[in-house]
Structure 1
Amino acid sequence: MPVMSLTKTLKRASPIVALSLAVFGFAVPQVAKADTLADALVGAYTHSGLLEQNRALLRAADEDVAIAGSTLKPVLSWSADLTQNFGRTRAGGAGFSSSVDNLSATIGLIGQLLLFDFGASQYRIEAAKETVLATRGTLLDIEQIVLLRAVRAYMGVIEASEFVALRNNNLRLLTQELRAARDRFDVGEVTRTDVALAEAQLAQARSGLAGAEGDYLRAIEEYRNAVGRKPGRLSAPPRLPDVGVDVEGAKALAVRRHPLLAAAQHQVAAAELLIKAGEADMEPTVSLTGRYGLTENFGTPNYNRTGSVGLEFKQTIYGGGQLSAQVRKSMAQRDAQRSNLHVVTHDIRQDVGNAYASLASARAVLEASERQIRAARIAFRGVREEATLGARTTLDVLDAEQSLLDAESARVSARSNLYVAAYTVLSATGQLTAQDLKLPVQIYDPAAYYNLVKDSPAKRSRQGQKLDRVLRALQKQ
């Protein structure tokens, strides 16, 4: 199936089917191919338990809007009781008494509607909405963390595997050097010291290979954790993302669109609204109240049916200072959120600067290592050739080989660091999301659940039944 048609199929399929096809290849016969960085990012997005955790926290914040909104809706309740009266009564001094033995049932219906509270309830609704928006920003930042971890894991496996290859190659070369040193020792060209140096270097190479293999196994485990599956054959990383060189422009972009900054701004707005709600709590409230009751006495024709409708005015005159303390607490929390906004703004700008510095450093190291490799390779070949002529010692050859290994290792690390730094720039500017990267996944819609619950639907309403179906689907995932 062509790539474009597979992508269209994934978009039309349900999220679960699309996930199965995109990640595991179920029901899609195809030739095994190497995993790409995009495959790793898709796996991380669909596998991450951290994302699922924070999506659930967002749904909980959505419900806070519904809870706050319910205070402005009618509240209808009922109560019932069944009472058995028994005993004897005596009236006057004549000794006349009578027995009491009757069963009565009472049922009541109570309705209440808040008419006016100086905006306290509405302020809390708006504060809950701001909290939802802040939680959405936090979720987006978690998404960036998850995807950046996948990039690091992908490059980590490539880096570790290349280190193993370098160490294996180094081990082969040193084995040859040791064999050559022994041959030359047998004919009297070198001393026993030269052979011992070659043996020591070979033992060190074996130790280095064991360490590299251990690092590779750890990189595999990190990939499995971050992406959700064991890495297969990994393709070379794609072309670096274009992040530009304008650091100040990137900082300005980050301040405009980074999800953590948006979250901090909404937290300040929510705190401001809660101050207003606390001040409104000190004002009177007006409620409409209706009651209807029915009392039935069994065994007698007596019954009682009553109803009432009225307005209730209520205000706290003195509550021990609780309301005033709540307002002051909200003010302090508002000040804390403002300070947090200040901190987040400066941290984001610093993160962008740090990311560009790491990117420039990785580029410089990569370029230097390329030059170092060319020079070290020439030097190694020359030293080894001179050693065969007796102009160089075994130690010179081993040192040249070590210099070449160090240069090649530096290039491997620099290339890995370069990719991680480039994607860190995207993360620092708020652009490392599944939507920005155009990943072929079912993008999580944070507004979908909110739109279902924001109006506090009743359980048996059409909206409530639709919500139940959504909840059951979420529980199956």
Structure 2
Amino acid sequence: MAGLLIAAAGAAATIAPERAAAQTLGDTLARAYANSGLLEQNRALLRAADEDVAQAVAALRPVISWSTQVTRQFGERRSAQTFNQVQSFASTDLSVGVDLEWLLYDFGRSQLQVDAAKETVLATRERLVAIEQQVLLRAVRAFMAVRRESENVALRENNVRLITRELRAAEDRFEVGEVTRTDVSLAEARLAGARANLALAQGNLAQAQEEFRAAVGTRPGALAEPGPVPQTVSSVEQARRMAMRNHPEMREAQRQVTAAELRVAVARAAMKPSVTLGGRLSVNEDLENRDYTHSGQVSLGVGGPIYRGGQLSALLRQAQANRDAARANLLVVSDRLAQQAGDAWAQLQVARAAREASLRQIRAAEVAFEGVREEARLGARTTLDVLNAEQELLDARATLISASADEYIAAYSLLSAIGLMTADHLDLSVPRYDPSEYYNLVKSAPAVNSAQGRALDRVLESIGQD
């Protein structure tokens, strides 16, 4: 796209020193990856899903709790033993106890819940990758939009200069009687239109810069050439196959089906009995008389539901319906991704063809413009002919600018459609977010005062969590 800028002589000196510090497309993608609030939001959602695994694991462990109670009793009593005399009484009792409850066996229900939570974590990780693709693709579009609109502004500015010169030439020729006032008016009208188009291009550039700031997190400076168009795939069939195999939304849907099937098994296991172990150690002391009792108990219980008003059956049917919905969603996602891959492939081919056609159109329009302008100098062409030829050349150059930008966007859109629009595949120079780091810290449900719990605290502090 370097040859597309119709730069004036004064602009060249301004652009030259900025090239060394120009922001590349890779820099833009790295900034978008590092600054995205959407990615931060979904990373937090992933950490929340990781905690579901820890909570499910905790259900397999014993629950130990303590309790304490101070009871003050007071009153009056009269009985035959007190010879019908009214006597006051008062006592203060302290009770301290430790309770244990441990689920020993529940036909695999708790373990199935752990497995379902793990599948949900894996699905959420794939959702995070899909969000990453969206963030990076938006940054590519913003980058190319700023470059396209910048080149359009330069093109329109140059057009204003050229038409201004044509107007002056028409006025000079009018003074010597070579053309009529109509030719001058035509040039004036074209100049007014060129200035209006320049204002529109400047407005479009301002909008593109705002979108860039929203997509990347910083305002655009001087943007470098985007480099070669990225390699994608060689056929639409290959694009569809890779989308089915690599796209994170496909893998997310597959994980959701597995998780839904596990929840059906959980609902079935909930109808079966469970075996629990219980225990209690307690101390009861009369604080006034210093009498105390130390006691303990151990219990083994087996129990299960008999009738809950149809709740368990409803939960099973609900889990089965959700499983069927997840399976149907897998088919929907598969069809949608195949269509997206096909559309992206077609858009890339169209963009490439449009760019090639625009290059040929520019070459022909340049020859035609030079010829018409020379013929106008000799009196064989009118001012309107020159302006029309110049407009055709301007339109051809503007078309090439858009077609070149569209080719880059289409190529990266195809990468996104086949699941390769990621920081890893693009090899961005940015620290990668590791979704397994937090999971590995919480998957075993660490206690707060354990070594792993303290490591988790440090991780939370580093990401700004309380």
Deviation at 1:96, TM superposition (A): 3.4
In 2, Cα distance between equivalents of 1:389 and 1:437: 56
In 1, Cα distance between equivalents of 2:259 and 2:116: 4
Unaligned runs of 5+ in 2: 1-18
Deviations 1:100-138 (A, max 9, x none): 211111111101110011111111110000000000000
In the alignment, is the contact (CA less than 8 A) between 2:67 and 2:98 conserved in 1?
Answer: yes
TM-score by length of 2: 0.94
Deviation at 1:224, TM superposition (A): 1.7
Q: Does residue 33 in structure 1 map to residue 21 in structure 2?
A: yes
Deviation at 1:476, TM superposition (A): 7.1
Task: Name which of 77, 85, 110 aligns with 2:73.
Answer: 85
Partner of 1:63: 51
What secondary structure is seen at the aligned counterpart in 2 of 1:475? coil
Q: Does residue 319 in structure 1 map to residue 298 in structure 2?
A: no
Task: Name which of 108, 130, 135 aligns with 2:119.
Answer: 130
What secondary structure is seen at the aligned counterpart in 2 of 1:241? coil
What secondary structure is seen at the aligned counterpart in 2 of 1:95? coil
Q: How does 1:5-404 map to 2 (within 5 A)?
A: 33-92=21-80, 94-404=83-393
The AA in structure 1 aligned to 2:417 is: A
In the alignment, is the contact (CA less than 8 A) between 2:272 and 2:304 conserved in 1?
Answer: yes
Deviations 1:171-195 (A, max 9, x none): 0110011111111222222222211
In 2, Cα distance between equivalents of 1:335 and 1:393: 73
Deviation at 1:32, TM superposition (A): 5.4
In 1, Cα distance between equivalents of 2:238 and 2:213: 36
What secondary structure is seen at the aligned counterpart in 2 of 1:272? helix
Partner of 2:9: none
Deviations 1:310-341 (A, max 9, x none): 11222111111111100100111111111111
RMSD of aligned Cα (Å): 1.4
Pair 1:275–1:476, CA change in 2 (3 A):
closer
Deviation at 1:97, TM superposition (A): 3.4
In 2, Cα distance between equivalents of 1:91 and 1:305: 32
In the alignment, is the contact (CA less than 8 A) between 2:239 and 2:345 conserved in 1?
Answer: no
| Same amino acid, percent of matched pairs | 55
In 2, Cα distance between equivalents of 1:128 and 1:476: 23
In 2, Cα distance between equivalents of 1:301 and 1:62: 50
Deviations 1:9-61 (A, max 9, x none): xxxxxxxxxxxxxxxxxxxxxx9521111111111111111111100000000
Number of aligned positions between the proteins = 447
Partner of 1:15: none
Of 133-142 and 298-307, more deviation after overlay is shown by 298-307
In the alignment, is the contact (CA less than 8 A) between 2:257 and 2:327 conserved in 1?
Answer: yes
Deviations 1:253-275 (A, max 9, x none): 11111111000000010000001
In 2, Cα distance between equivalents of 1:347 and 1:439: 28
In 1, Cα distance between equivalents of 2:241 and 2:85: 96
In the alignment, is the contact (CA less than 8 A) between 2:260 and 2:326 conserved in 1?
Answer: yes
Deviation at 1:92, TM superposition (A): 3.4
In 2, Cα distance between equivalents of 1:193 and 1:352: 54
Deviations 1:227-279 (A, max 9, x none): 22222221111111111322111211111111110000000100000010011
In 2, Cα distance between equivalents of 1:32 and 1:396: 42
What secondary structure is seen at the aligned counterpart in 1 of 2:279? strand
In 2, Cα distance between equivalents of 1:218 and 1:245: 35
TM-score by length of 1: 0.92
Question: Stretches of 4+ moved more than 3 A in 1?
Answer: none
In 2, Cα distance between equivalents of 1:476 and 1:225: 25
In 2, Cα distance between equivalents of 1:199 and 1:127: 73
Deviation at 1:68, TM superposition (A): 0.9
In 2, Cα distance between equivalents of 1:90 and 1:126: 65
